[in-house]
């Protein structure tokens, strides 16, 4: 009796939680028409709806990046999907991107590449700049759902790790990228924060004047974990321990040993990396 009741409840909650893509797209079409954004094509790439302004074929091609990133990130990191259907707008050039963002968020974009807006429930991309920012921004709503209150270093570290990524043995892997030379320069000049201080930064400080080095250090710390086969295990252990270890410092120490000892070795290793 009790078991039956539980099963019925589980079925009911699953049914009520199933996202209504058809209803969402109908409302989306109405909204876009009202704002004068016509001539767009729309595809479902769960848990996202992807909107393009350069025709069906271009959207089909660009949406492959969305599908690939979502599938690979879910397989290796994220047990939970974003709870709301999010729209991913792929604008085909700078002009259409700026116009679209202005119409949809009533604000001009503050980056030429693309961004995720939780309040607008969407990702807005100038896809002519490449797919890197798209993958970076896809990471953020997943982290929001799967690891609420993740510290900025982890959120941006993962986002920027996968902004330059490839598939190896069926897994998504980050590659070295444009953030490397700045980090190497900062290492040479002794300007890199300790791992402990990086990990304890709140949003205001992480996104402050030194955000460039904070992103780069976070990225290459996670890149180090990836290259030593520890990244997926660390992410899951940190997520599980988060209430007791909000910065991840204790979990990372358990994963790699004394962080004060690791840092100089990591800095020497980063100096050997190359980005072409």
In the complex, which residues of this chain contact Zn ion (CB under 5 A)?
A: 156, 159
Closer of 219 and 239 to Zn ion (Cβ): 219
Q: Give yes or no for a contact between 78 and 239, defined as CB atoms under 8 angstroms apart.
A: no
Closer of 47 and 159 to Zn ion (Cβ): 159
Question: Closest approach of Cβ 25 to Zn ion, in Å?
Answer: 27
- Number of neighbouring beta carbons within 10 Å of residue 95: 10
**Beta partners for residue 42, in sequence order:** 51
Question: Closest approach of Cβ 130 to Zn ion, in Å?
Answer: 15
Question: Closest approach of Cβ 212 to Zn ion, in Å?
Answer: 13
Residue 134 CB-density burial (10 A; 0-12 exposed, 13-18 middle, 19+ buried): buried
Question: Closest approach of Cβ 56 to Zn ion, in Å?
Answer: 30
Closer of 159 and 174 to Zn ion (Cβ): 159
Residue/partner pairs of 127-130 with CB below 8 Å, 24 or more apart: 127/52, 127/62, 127/90, 127/91, 127/92, 128/92, 128/93, 128/94
Question: Closest approach of Cβ 31 to Zn ion, in Å?
Answer: 26
According to DSSP, the β-strands at 122-126 and 86-91 are parallel
Q: Which residue is nearest to Zn ion (CB)?
A: 159
Burial of 62-83, coded b for 16+ CB within 10 Å and e otherwise, reads: bbebbebbbebbeeebbeebbe
């Amino acid at each position: 009796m009790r078991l039956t009741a539980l099963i019925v409840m589980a079925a009911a909650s699953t049914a009520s939680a199933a996202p209504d893509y058809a209803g969402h797209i109908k409302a989306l079409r109405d909204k876009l028409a009202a704002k004068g954004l016509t001539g767009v094509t729309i595809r479902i790439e769960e848990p996202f709806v992807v909107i393009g302004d350069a025709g069906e074929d271009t959207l089909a091609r660009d949406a492959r990046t969305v599908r690939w990133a979502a599938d690979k990130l879910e397989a290796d990191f994220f047990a939970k999907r974003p709870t709301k259907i999010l729209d991913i707008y792929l604008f085909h050039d700078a002009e259409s991107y700026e116009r679209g963002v202005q119409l949809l968020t009533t604000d001009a974009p503050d980056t030429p590449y693309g961004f995720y807006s939780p309040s607008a429930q969407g990702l807005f991309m100038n896809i002519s700049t490449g797919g890197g920012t798209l993958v970076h921004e896809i990471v953020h709503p997943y982290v929001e759902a799967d690891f609420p209150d993740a510290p900025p270093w982890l959120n941006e570290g993962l986002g920027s790790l996968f902004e330059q990524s490839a598939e190896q043995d069926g897994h998504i892997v980050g590659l070295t990228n444009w953030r490397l030379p700045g980090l190497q320069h900062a290492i040479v000049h002794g300007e890199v924060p300790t791992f402990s201080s990086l990990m304890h930064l709140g949003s205001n400080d992480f996104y402050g004047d030194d955000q460039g080095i904070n992103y780069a250090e976070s990225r290459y710390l996670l890149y180090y974990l990836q290259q030593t086969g520890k990244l997926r295990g660390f992410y899951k252990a940190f997520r599980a321990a988060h209430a007791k270890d909000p910065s991840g410092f204790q979990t990372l120490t358990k994963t790699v040993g004394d962080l004060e000892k690791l840092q100089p070795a990591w800095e020497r290793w980063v100096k050997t990396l190359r980005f072409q």
